[in-house]
Amino acid sequence: MIIKAESETPPHSGMTVTASIKDAYCHLFDDKGRTLSTSAGAIRTRGAAA
């Protein structure tokens, strides 16, 4: 996580940080249930499109 934070310097860092945040959400959703995990996947797809 710290390494990704340091990568914020390059312009692509935004996508890296966003991916890390989405991964964290996926883990939280997985802890609560697969249904929420699916929602996280949809968010991930939208993030990639944006």
Q: What is the pLDDT along the chain (50 residues), one digit of tens a residue?
A: 445 555 455 555 555 666 676 676 666 655 555 555 455 566 555 555 54
DSSP the chain: -HHHHHTTSSTTHHHHHHHHHHHHHHHHHHHH-HHHHHHHHHHHHHHHH-
pLDDT for 1: 46
Q: What are phi and psi of 33, to 5 degrees?
A: 165, 155
pLDDT for 48: 53
Structure tokens at 7: 């990568």
pLDDT for 25: 64
**Domain residue extents for the chain:** 21-50
Given a contact cutoff of 8 angstroms between Cβ atoms, the answer to whether 44 and 22 are in contact is yes
Identify the residue whose tokens are 């993030």: 47
